[in-house]
Structure 1
Amino acid sequence: MDKASIRKRILPIRKGLSPEVVQELSEKLLNQFKQLDLAEVKTLHIFLPIKSQNEPNTFLIIDWLKKYHPALKIVIPRADFETSLMTHHYFEGMEDLELNAYQILEPAKAKIHSGEIEMVIVPLIAFDKNGYRVGYGKGFYDRFLSGIQTKKIGLSLLDELVEIDNVNEHDVRLDQCLTPDKVYTFPLS
């Protein structure tokens, strides 16, 4: 199935989840995240959830990191929709966040991080057995990830492997994907 068809099939399923179910599944994702080895991670990039898309509540992970790994730097994205590029800013708390024109939370005044990032938590709609993902189709994360050496971890509320027919040379493979009930390490054998 091509990426557009996968989006058309999977997004309504995720959007159909109640807020209570999204929260419950997000808490399970946090439990999966807690199992990751963060010993070598000094800076972690994490997306902020788009509420209208029923994305995982990554604030649970951010809060846990701040409590149990206070020395770890948390970086969040700010998107430029004209260039399809992102800048990466230190997370300085909820009070620094604002909604952009697309209703996505972004940092307002936080400093830009320009150093290395050892782990990136990647949003997705669906993923396949080889670690390729279906996003929203703008290529923000593929552009970002193609230029750095980092551990790439997808987060999915749904535990469903798909077949992606139109993977291309610009698509960047995940190292792992966390779902509420499982951790996938790619490629699957």
Structure 2
Amino acid sequence: MDRAQCIQNRKALTPLQRKQKEEAIVTQLLPFLKGNIGLYVPIQGEVDVFTPLLSYPSLYLPKVTGPESMKFCRYQGELKEGAYHVKEPAGQACRPKDLDVIIVPMTGFCGFHRKGYGKGYYDRFLKQTKALKIGVAFDCQEMIFKKEEHDVDMDVLITETQCRRK
């Protein structure tokens, strides 16, 4: 299975399946939340943990700042279309060391290894922070692949049926 198949698998979930699976993921995620949280606005059928966590007091969202870089900026209730047609915050950027937890989207996973969209934005950012890295995905996104040298593993992996800790 490849990235495209994993994306197709998650897009094929019915609204009811998606709602139930996302609720199970959020329930498992809540005990890990503390301090400054890096989150994401879901695209292409990614797990939506953004909507249920909107009331969290200290959220930061990714913003592409260059061809190979992104920062996390404070979410203050407003989003604008940014790079790759992804909604981004207008708030001030934080330093990577200021984040306590980062919730990371995945197109696919194998153990604690993560596949993204292939541009490396998250891997480059995650190498700069000591934050707890939590990957979230649906079970149907599990795949087999070899970790590449530049890949950053997750500390925690959460799906609707499991919560693995390194």
Normalising by structure 2, what TM-score? 0.88
Are positions 1:120 and 2:98 aligned together? no
Q: 1:151 aligns with which of 127, 132, 145?
A: 132
Q: Show structure 1 runs of 4+ deviating over 3 A.
A: none
Match for 2:162: what amino acid? K
Are positions 1:44 and 2:40 aligned together? no
Q: Is the 8 A contact 1:159 1:180 kept in 2?
A: no
For residues 14-163 of structure 1, what are the structure 2 equivalents within 5 Å? Answer: 14-36=10-32, 38=33, 41-50=34-43, 53-63=44-54, 66=56, 70=57, 73-80=58-65, 82-93=66-77, 96-100=78-82, 102-107=84-89, 109-114=90-95, 116-129=98-111, 131-158=112-139, 161-163=142-144
Match for 1:29: what amino acid? I
> Which whole-Å CA distance do the structure 1 matches of 2:47 and 2:72 have between them?
20
**Could you report, residue by residue, the CA deviation over 1:154-177 in whole angstroms, capped at 9, with x for unpaired residues?**
010225543213x22210010011
> Which whole-Å CA distance do the structure 2 matches of 1:104 and 1:86 have between them?
12
Question: 2:48 is paired with a residue of what secondary structure?
Answer: coil
Q: Is the 8 A contact 1:49 1:56 kept in 2?
A: yes
Match for 1:58: what amino acid? V
Question: 1:34 is paired with a residue of what secondary structure?
Answer: helix
Q: 1:128 to 1:22 in 2, by over 3 A?
A: same
Q: Is the 8 A contact 1:11 1:125 kept in 2?
A: yes
RMSD: 1.9
Please list every run of 5 or more consecutive structure 2 residues that lacks an aligned counterpart in the other structure: none
Match for 2:17: what amino acid? V
Q: What is residue 160 of structure 2 aligned with on the other side?
A: 180
Normalising by structure 1, what TM-score? 0.78
